[in-house]
Amino acid sequence: MSQQINHPTISEAEIIRPTRVEVDLKRLAENFSKVKQHVGSVKVMPVLKANAYGHGLVRIAQFFQELNVDYLGVAVVEEGILLREKGITVPILVLGGIWGNQVPLFLKHNLTITASSIEKLKQIDEVAEQMKVKAKVHLKIDTGMERIGVHYYNAENFLDAAYECKNVEVEGIFSHFASSDSADLTYTRLQLERFTEVLNYFEKHSIEPPLRHISNSGAILQLPEANLDMVRPGIILFGVYPSNEVKKTIGVKPTLTWKSLVVYFKVIKPGHPVGYASTWQTDKNTRAVTVPVGYGDGYFRSMSHKAEVLIRGKRYPVIGTISMDQIVVDINNDSAYNGDEVILLGSDGKNEITCDELAEWAGTIPYEILTNINTRVPRVYKSS
Protein backbone atom coordinates (compact mmCIF):
# COMPACT_ATOMS: atom_id res chain seq x y z
CA MET A 1 0.00 0.00 0.00
CA SER A 2 1.53 3.30 -1.07
CA GLN A 3 0.67 6.45 0.84
CA GLN A 4 1.12 10.15 0.26
CA ILE A 5 0.72 12.99 2.70
CA ASN A 6 -1.01 16.31 2.04
CA HIS A 7 0.35 18.45 4.87
CA PRO A 8 2.00 21.85 4.66
CA THR A 9 5.12 21.21 6.72
CA ILE A 10 5.75 17.56 7.58
CA SER A 11 6.41 14.31 5.77
CA GLU A 12 4.80 10.92 6.34
CA ALA A 13 7.75 9.73 8.43
CA GLU A 14 7.49 12.81 10.64
CA ILE A 15 3.74 12.62 11.34
CA ILE A 16 3.41 11.83 15.01
CA ARG A 17 -0.10 13.08 15.69
CA PRO A 18 -2.41 10.12 16.36
CA THR A 19 -5.48 11.85 14.87
CA ARG A 20 -5.61 11.73 11.08
CA VAL A 21 -7.83 11.37 8.04
CA GLU A 22 -7.22 8.55 5.58
CA VAL A 23 -8.53 8.96 2.03
CA ASP A 24 -9.05 5.91 -0.17
CA LEU A 25 -8.13 7.04 -3.69
CA LYS A 26 -9.07 3.70 -5.21
CA ARG A 27 -12.60 4.06 -3.87
CA LEU A 28 -12.72 7.68 -5.07
CA ALA A 29 -11.86 6.48 -8.57
CA GLU A 30 -14.59 3.86 -8.36
CA ASN A 31 -17.16 6.45 -7.28
CA PHE A 32 -16.12 8.76 -10.11
CA SER A 33 -16.40 5.90 -12.61
CA LYS A 34 -19.91 5.09 -11.37
CA VAL A 35 -21.00 8.69 -11.76
CA LYS A 36 -19.57 8.85 -15.28
CA GLN A 37 -21.29 5.62 -16.21
CA HIS A 38 -24.56 6.92 -14.77
CA VAL A 39 -24.55 10.16 -16.79
CA GLY A 40 -23.26 8.66 -20.05
CA SER A 41 -21.57 11.00 -22.53
CA VAL A 42 -22.17 14.11 -20.43
CA LYS A 43 -19.10 16.00 -19.21
CA VAL A 44 -18.32 15.75 -15.50
CA MET A 45 -17.04 18.58 -13.30
CA PRO A 46 -15.98 17.35 -9.84
CA VAL A 47 -16.66 20.12 -7.36
CA LEU A 48 -13.83 20.43 -4.83
CA LYS A 49 -15.04 23.25 -2.62
CA ALA A 50 -14.00 23.61 1.01
CA ASN A 51 -10.80 21.59 0.86
CA ALA A 52 -12.48 19.01 -1.40
CA TYR A 53 -15.16 18.32 1.20
CA GLY A 54 -12.46 17.82 3.81
CA HIS A 55 -10.43 15.39 1.72
CA GLY A 56 -7.57 17.74 0.82
CA LEU A 57 -7.92 20.11 -2.14
CA VAL A 58 -4.54 19.77 -3.83
CA ARG A 59 -4.11 15.99 -3.76
CA ILE A 60 -7.71 15.35 -4.78
CA ALA A 61 -7.41 17.79 -7.68
CA GLN A 62 -4.16 16.12 -8.75
CA PHE A 63 -5.91 12.77 -8.61
CA PHE A 64 -8.81 13.93 -10.77
CA GLN A 65 -6.39 15.44 -13.24
CA GLU A 66 -4.76 12.02 -13.46
CA LEU A 67 -8.24 10.67 -14.31
CA ASN A 68 -8.51 13.19 -17.17
CA VAL A 69 -11.58 15.02 -15.88
CA ASP A 70 -13.28 17.55 -18.13
CA TYR A 71 -13.41 20.36 -15.59
CA LEU A 72 -12.93 21.15 -11.90
CA GLY A 73 -15.13 23.41 -9.80
CA VAL A 74 -14.08 25.45 -6.76
CA ALA A 75 -15.84 28.09 -4.69
CA VAL A 76 -13.37 30.96 -4.46
CA VAL A 77 -10.52 32.35 -6.52
CA GLU A 78 -7.90 31.48 -3.88
CA GLU A 79 -8.70 27.78 -4.32
CA GLY A 80 -8.24 28.09 -8.06
CA ILE A 81 -4.94 29.95 -7.74
CA LEU A 82 -3.59 27.34 -5.33
CA LEU A 83 -4.42 24.57 -7.79
CA ARG A 84 -2.70 26.39 -10.64
CA GLU A 85 0.38 26.94 -8.46
CA LYS A 86 0.40 23.19 -7.72
CA GLY A 87 0.41 22.27 -11.39
CA ILE A 88 -3.28 21.68 -12.14
CA THR A 89 -3.83 22.49 -15.81
CA VAL A 90 -7.40 21.30 -16.45
CA PRO A 91 -10.10 23.98 -16.77
CA ILE A 92 -11.24 25.35 -13.40
CA LEU A 93 -14.52 27.18 -12.86
CA VAL A 94 -14.77 29.40 -9.77
CA LEU A 95 -18.43 29.02 -8.89
CA GLY A 96 -18.78 31.85 -6.38
CA GLY A 97 -19.35 35.56 -6.77
CA ILE A 98 -16.45 37.90 -7.47
CA TRP A 99 -15.22 41.39 -6.69
CA GLY A 100 -14.19 43.49 -9.66
CA ASN A 101 -10.62 43.82 -8.39
CA GLN A 102 -10.28 40.03 -8.46
CA VAL A 103 -10.67 39.83 -12.24
CA PRO A 104 -6.93 40.21 -13.01
CA LEU A 105 -6.22 37.22 -10.77
CA PHE A 106 -8.63 35.06 -12.77
CA LEU A 107 -7.05 36.07 -16.04
CA LYS A 108 -3.48 35.74 -14.81
CA HIS A 109 -4.12 32.17 -13.64
CA ASN A 110 -6.39 31.10 -16.52
CA LEU A 111 -9.42 30.55 -14.30
CA THR A 112 -12.96 30.56 -15.63
CA ILE A 113 -15.12 33.28 -14.11
CA THR A 114 -18.73 33.12 -12.97
CA ALA A 115 -20.34 36.21 -14.52
CA SER A 116 -23.40 37.00 -12.44
CA SER A 117 -24.51 40.45 -13.63
CA ILE A 118 -24.20 42.87 -16.53
CA GLU A 119 -22.00 45.12 -14.39
CA LYS A 120 -19.57 42.28 -13.68
CA LEU A 121 -19.54 41.33 -17.35
CA LYS A 122 -18.44 44.85 -18.20
CA GLN A 123 -15.72 44.73 -15.55
CA ILE A 124 -14.44 41.43 -16.92
CA ASP A 125 -14.50 42.75 -20.48
CA GLU A 126 -12.59 45.92 -19.57
CA VAL A 127 -9.88 44.13 -17.61
CA ALA A 128 -9.48 41.50 -20.33
CA GLU A 129 -9.01 44.27 -22.89
CA GLN A 130 -6.37 45.94 -20.71
CA MET A 131 -4.53 42.63 -20.26
CA LYS A 132 -4.94 41.74 -23.92
CA VAL A 133 -6.47 38.33 -23.20
CA LYS A 134 -9.80 36.64 -23.69
CA ALA A 135 -11.72 35.98 -20.49
CA LYS A 136 -13.62 32.70 -20.22
CA VAL A 137 -16.91 33.03 -18.39
CA HIS A 138 -19.88 30.93 -17.40
CA LEU A 139 -23.07 32.96 -17.09
CA LYS A 140 -24.96 32.43 -13.83
CA ILE A 141 -28.75 32.32 -13.99
CA ASP A 142 -30.77 32.47 -10.77
CA THR A 143 -33.70 30.08 -11.17
CA GLY A 144 -34.68 29.99 -7.52
CA MET A 145 -31.76 30.12 -5.08
CA GLU A 146 -31.64 33.93 -4.65
CA ARG A 147 -27.90 33.98 -4.03
CA ILE A 148 -26.01 35.23 -7.10
CA GLY A 149 -26.93 35.35 -10.76
CA VAL A 150 -29.35 37.18 -12.99
CA HIS A 151 -32.99 36.22 -12.45
CA TYR A 152 -34.30 33.93 -15.14
CA TYR A 153 -37.00 36.46 -16.03
CA ASN A 154 -34.32 39.13 -16.74
CA ALA A 155 -31.89 36.83 -18.52
CA GLU A 156 -32.33 38.00 -22.11
CA ASN A 157 -30.71 41.41 -21.56
CA PHE A 158 -27.91 39.68 -19.65
CA LEU A 159 -27.23 37.30 -22.52
CA ASP A 160 -27.38 40.14 -25.03
CA ALA A 161 -24.76 42.01 -23.00
CA ALA A 162 -22.55 38.92 -22.78
CA TYR A 163 -22.39 38.48 -26.52
CA GLU A 164 -21.65 42.18 -27.03
CA CYS A 165 -18.46 41.87 -24.96
CA LYS A 166 -15.50 41.69 -27.33
CA ASN A 167 -13.01 40.30 -24.83
CA VAL A 168 -15.21 37.66 -23.25
CA GLU A 169 -15.73 34.07 -24.37
CA VAL A 170 -19.06 32.72 -23.17
CA GLU A 171 -17.96 29.15 -22.54
CA GLY A 172 -20.88 28.09 -20.33
CA ILE A 173 -24.18 28.97 -18.73
CA PHE A 174 -25.45 27.47 -15.49
CA SER A 175 -27.81 27.57 -12.57
CA HIS A 176 -28.08 25.73 -9.27
CA PHE A 177 -30.81 23.61 -7.71
CA ALA A 178 -32.08 24.49 -4.24
CA SER A 179 -33.64 21.16 -3.25
CA SER A 180 -32.71 18.44 -5.72
CA ASP A 181 -31.92 16.10 -2.82
CA SER A 182 -35.52 16.17 -1.58
CA ALA A 183 -38.10 13.46 -2.11
CA ASP A 184 -40.44 16.10 -3.55
CA LEU A 185 -38.89 17.35 -6.79
CA THR A 186 -41.63 19.85 -7.65
CA TYR A 187 -39.49 22.93 -7.09
CA THR A 188 -36.49 21.31 -8.74
CA ARG A 189 -38.51 20.65 -11.88
CA LEU A 190 -39.74 24.24 -11.81
CA GLN A 191 -36.16 25.47 -11.67
CA LEU A 192 -35.22 23.23 -14.60
CA GLU A 193 -38.20 24.56 -16.55
CA ARG A 194 -37.09 28.14 -15.87
CA PHE A 195 -33.53 27.35 -16.95
CA THR A 196 -34.79 25.66 -20.12
CA GLU A 197 -36.77 28.78 -20.96
CA VAL A 198 -33.60 30.86 -20.65
CA LEU A 199 -31.73 28.42 -22.89
CA ASN A 200 -34.27 29.01 -25.67
CA TYR A 201 -32.37 32.26 -26.22
CA PHE A 202 -29.70 30.46 -28.20
CA GLU A 203 -32.09 28.85 -30.67
CA LYS A 204 -33.99 32.12 -30.98
CA HIS A 205 -30.81 33.98 -31.92
CA SER A 206 -29.23 31.12 -33.91
CA ILE A 207 -26.27 30.95 -31.53
CA GLU A 208 -24.48 27.71 -30.76
CA PRO A 209 -25.25 27.14 -27.06
CA PRO A 210 -22.32 27.06 -24.64
CA LEU A 211 -21.86 24.37 -22.02
CA ARG A 212 -25.15 24.11 -20.15
CA HIS A 213 -25.08 22.78 -16.59
CA ILE A 214 -27.34 22.77 -13.55
CA SER A 215 -27.19 19.25 -12.13
CA ASN A 216 -25.59 18.76 -8.70
CA SER A 217 -25.31 15.55 -6.65
CA GLY A 218 -29.01 15.35 -5.84
CA ALA A 219 -30.09 15.93 -9.43
CA ILE A 220 -27.54 13.45 -10.79
CA LEU A 221 -29.14 10.84 -8.55
CA GLN A 222 -32.77 11.75 -9.19
CA LEU A 223 -33.33 13.89 -12.29
CA PRO A 224 -31.47 12.61 -15.37
CA GLU A 225 -33.23 15.09 -17.67
CA ALA A 226 -31.25 17.84 -15.92
CA ASN A 227 -27.86 16.46 -16.97
CA LEU A 228 -27.67 18.65 -20.12
CA ASP A 229 -24.03 19.09 -21.27
CA MET A 230 -22.21 18.78 -17.95
CA VAL A 231 -22.93 17.72 -14.37
CA ARG A 232 -21.34 18.94 -11.13
CA PRO A 233 -21.03 16.10 -8.60
CA GLY A 234 -19.71 17.03 -5.19
CA ILE A 235 -20.42 15.04 -2.07
CA ILE A 236 -21.45 11.84 -3.89
CA LEU A 237 -17.94 11.51 -5.32
CA PHE A 238 -16.78 11.09 -1.74
CA GLY A 239 -19.30 8.36 -1.02
CA VAL A 240 -21.79 10.39 0.99
CA TYR A 241 -25.36 11.04 -0.12
CA PRO A 242 -26.63 14.63 0.07
CA SER A 243 -29.65 13.73 2.19
CA ASN A 244 -31.58 10.83 3.66
CA GLU A 245 -34.45 11.50 1.25
CA VAL A 246 -32.51 11.18 -1.97
CA LYS A 247 -32.79 8.08 -4.14
CA LYS A 248 -29.53 6.13 -4.03
CA THR A 249 -29.40 5.35 -7.74
CA ILE A 250 -25.58 5.23 -7.72
CA GLY A 251 -23.90 2.87 -5.28
CA VAL A 252 -21.07 5.04 -3.98
CA LYS A 253 -18.95 4.24 -0.94
CA PRO A 254 -17.27 6.56 1.60
CA THR A 255 -13.72 7.55 0.75
CA LEU A 256 -12.76 9.09 4.10
CA THR A 257 -11.88 7.47 7.40
CA TRP A 258 -11.25 9.69 10.42
CA LYS A 259 -9.29 7.93 13.10
CA SER A 260 -7.16 8.43 16.18
CA LEU A 261 -5.47 6.37 18.90
CA VAL A 262 -6.00 5.73 22.58
CA VAL A 263 -3.44 7.80 24.49
CA TYR A 264 -4.55 7.28 28.08
CA PHE A 265 -6.44 4.73 30.19
CA LYS A 266 -7.95 5.30 33.60
CA VAL A 267 -10.62 4.06 36.00
CA ILE A 268 -13.10 6.78 36.95
CA LYS A 269 -14.51 6.46 40.46
CA PRO A 270 -18.11 7.28 41.42
CA GLY A 271 -18.68 10.97 42.11
CA HIS A 272 -15.79 12.10 39.92
CA PRO A 273 -17.28 14.04 36.95
CA VAL A 274 -15.75 14.07 33.48
CA GLY A 275 -14.86 17.14 31.45
CA TYR A 276 -15.76 20.83 31.42
CA ALA A 277 -18.82 21.86 33.44
CA SER A 278 -18.85 18.40 35.06
CA THR A 279 -21.76 17.28 32.89
CA TRP A 280 -21.22 13.52 33.27
CA GLN A 281 -20.42 11.29 36.20
CA THR A 282 -20.75 7.65 37.06
CA ASP A 283 -22.20 5.77 40.01
CA LYS A 284 -19.71 2.91 39.65
CA ASN A 285 -16.09 2.38 38.77
CA THR A 286 -15.86 3.06 35.03
CA ARG A 287 -13.07 2.10 32.67
CA ALA A 288 -12.38 4.94 30.23
CA VAL A 289 -9.83 6.09 27.68
CA THR A 290 -8.77 9.48 26.39
CA VAL A 291 -8.51 10.17 22.65
CA PRO A 292 -6.70 13.27 21.29
CA VAL A 293 -9.43 14.80 19.13
CA GLY A 294 -11.92 17.57 19.82
CA TYR A 295 -13.89 20.44 18.41
CA GLY A 296 -10.62 22.13 17.45
CA ASP A 297 -10.30 19.33 14.90
CA GLY A 298 -13.91 19.64 13.78
CA TYR A 299 -15.30 16.98 16.11
CA PHE A 300 -18.32 19.03 17.08
CA ARG A 301 -18.87 19.97 20.71
CA SER A 302 -22.61 19.64 20.07
CA MET A 303 -22.09 15.87 19.83
CA SER A 304 -21.35 15.72 23.56
CA HIS A 305 -23.30 12.92 25.31
CA LYS A 306 -24.39 11.55 21.91
CA ALA A 307 -21.31 10.54 19.93
CA GLU A 308 -19.89 7.05 19.72
CA VAL A 309 -16.59 5.68 18.44
CA LEU A 310 -15.26 2.27 17.42
CA ILE A 311 -12.45 0.56 19.29
CA ARG A 312 -11.52 -2.96 18.19
CA GLY A 313 -14.70 -3.01 16.11
CA LYS A 314 -17.02 -2.26 19.02
CA ARG A 315 -19.07 0.88 19.71
CA TYR A 316 -18.46 2.92 22.83
CA PRO A 317 -20.01 6.20 23.98
CA VAL A 318 -18.16 9.49 24.31
CA ILE A 319 -18.71 10.80 27.84
CA GLY A 320 -18.56 14.32 29.22
CA THR A 321 -18.34 17.52 27.23
CA ILE A 322 -16.18 17.30 24.13
CA SER A 323 -13.11 19.49 24.64
CA MET A 324 -11.16 21.43 22.03
CA ASP A 325 -8.49 18.73 21.76
CA GLN A 326 -9.65 15.62 23.65
CA ILE A 327 -12.56 13.29 24.26
CA VAL A 328 -13.15 10.63 26.90
CA VAL A 329 -14.70 7.29 25.96
CA ASP A 330 -16.46 4.85 28.30
CA ILE A 331 -15.26 1.33 27.43
CA ASN A 332 -17.56 -0.40 29.93
CA ASN A 333 -15.80 -3.43 31.39
CA ASP A 334 -13.66 -3.99 28.31
CA SER A 335 -9.95 -3.48 27.84
CA ALA A 336 -8.18 -0.93 25.68
CA TYR A 337 -4.53 0.00 25.54
CA ASN A 338 -2.46 2.99 24.59
CA GLY A 339 -2.04 2.89 20.82
CA ASP A 340 -5.32 1.10 20.11
CA GLU A 341 -6.97 2.52 16.99
CA VAL A 342 -10.13 4.60 17.44
CA ILE A 343 -12.50 5.10 14.52
CA LEU A 344 -14.31 8.43 14.67
CA LEU A 345 -15.80 8.19 11.17
CA GLY A 346 -15.55 5.05 9.08
CA SER A 347 -15.66 1.29 9.51
CA ASP A 348 -13.88 -1.27 11.65
CA GLY A 349 -14.82 -4.83 10.86
CA LYS A 350 -18.59 -5.13 10.54
CA ASN A 351 -19.33 -1.93 12.45
CA GLU A 352 -19.34 1.57 10.99
CA ILE A 353 -19.72 5.14 12.18
CA THR A 354 -21.33 7.01 9.28
CA CYS A 355 -21.21 10.64 8.28
CA ASP A 356 -24.99 10.74 8.63
CA GLU A 357 -24.66 9.63 12.25
CA LEU A 358 -22.16 12.33 13.10
CA ALA A 359 -24.43 14.87 11.42
CA GLU A 360 -27.41 13.69 13.46
CA TRP A 361 -25.43 13.85 16.70
CA ALA A 362 -24.17 17.33 15.84
CA GLY A 363 -27.56 18.60 14.65
CA THR A 364 -26.27 19.42 11.19
CA ILE A 365 -25.79 17.91 7.71
CA PRO A 366 -23.09 15.57 6.34
CA TYR A 367 -21.58 18.40 4.28
CA GLU A 368 -20.70 20.32 7.46
CA ILE A 369 -19.19 17.26 9.12
CA LEU A 370 -16.76 16.71 6.25
CA THR A 371 -15.87 20.32 5.54
CA ASN A 372 -15.24 21.12 9.20
CA ILE A 373 -12.46 18.58 9.70
CA ASN A 374 -9.67 21.03 10.50
CA THR A 375 -6.59 21.29 8.31
CA ARG A 376 -4.43 20.57 11.37
CA VAL A 377 -5.61 16.97 10.97
CA PRO A 378 -3.10 15.31 8.58
CA ARG A 379 -4.52 13.71 5.43
CA VAL A 380 -3.03 10.37 4.40
CA TYR A 381 -3.78 9.01 0.91
CA LYS A 382 -4.12 5.30 0.22
CA SER A 383 -3.96 4.08 -3.35
CA SER A 384 -4.77 0.42 -2.67
Alpha helices in the chain (DSSP H): 25-39, 49-53, 57-66, 77-85, 103-108, 118-131, 155-164, 186-204, 217-222, 355-362, 366-371
How far are the Cα atoms of 201, 214, 270 from residue 283, in angstroms, in the given order? 72, 56, 5
CA distance 188 to 175: 11
- Cα 132 to chain centroid, rounded: 35
| 4 in a structural domain | no
What per-residue confidence (pLDDT) applies to 100?
Answer: 79
| 75 in a structural domain | yes
| 21 in a structural domain | no
CA distance 247 to 221: 6
What per-residue confidence (pLDDT) applies to 4?
Answer: 45
Domain stop point among 238, 269, 304: 238
DSSP-based three-state secondary structure for 257: strand
Residues 196, 295, single domain; the answer is: no
What per-residue confidence (pLDDT) applies to 99?
Answer: 86
pTM, rounded to two decimals: 0.93
How far are the Cα atoms of 68, 110, 139, 162, 195 from residue 155, in angstroms, in the given order? 33, 26, 10, 10, 10
What per-residue confidence (pLDDT) applies to 14?
Answer: 53
- Per run of 10 residues, the mean pLDDT along the chain (length 384 residues) is 43 71 98 98 97 98 97 98 98 94 97 98 97 98 97 98 98 98 98 98 97 98 98 98 97 98 96 95 95 98 98 97 98 94 96 98 98 96 86
Find the CATH number of the domain harbouring 77.
3.20.20.10
Residues 199, 285, single domain; the answer is: no
How far are the Cα atoms of 112, 156, 175, 198, 200 from residue 232, in angstroms, in the given order? 15, 25, 11, 20, 22
Residues 222, 166, single domain; the answer is: yes
Residues 213, 275, single domain; the answer is: no
Residues 302, 376, single domain; the answer is: yes
Domain stop point among 207, 238, 269: 238
| 1 in a structural domain | no
Residues 198, 289, single domain; the answer is: no
Residues with a catalytic annotation lie at 49, 276
| 336 in a structural domain | yes
Domain that holds residue 116: 42-238
- CA angle centred on 115, ends 111 and 121, rounded to 5°: 105
Residues 133, 171, single domain; the answer is: yes
Domain stop point among 181, 206, 238: 238
Find the CATH number of the domain harbouring 298.
2.40.37.10
String of DSSP letters for 145-172: --SSSEEGGGHHHHHHHHHH-TTEEEEE
Residues 73, 127, single domain; the answer is: yes
- Cα 299 to chain centroid, rounded: 17
Residues 311, 356, single domain; the answer is: yes
| 103 in a structural domain | yes
- Looking at the structure of the chain, the number of domains it has is 2
Which 8-state DSSP code applies to residue 8? S
| 247 in a structural domain | no
- Bridge partners of 291? 327
Residues 229, 272, single domain; the answer is: no
Residues 310, 233, single domain; the answer is: no
| 285 in a structural domain | yes
What per-residue confidence (pLDDT) applies to 12?
Answer: 53
Phi, psi of 285 (to 5 degrees): -60, 130
How far are the Cα atoms of 14, 57, 84, 90, 232 from residue 132, in angstroms, in the given order? 47, 31, 20, 22, 31
Fill in the amino acid letter for 229.
D
Residues 326, 283, single domain; the answer is: yes
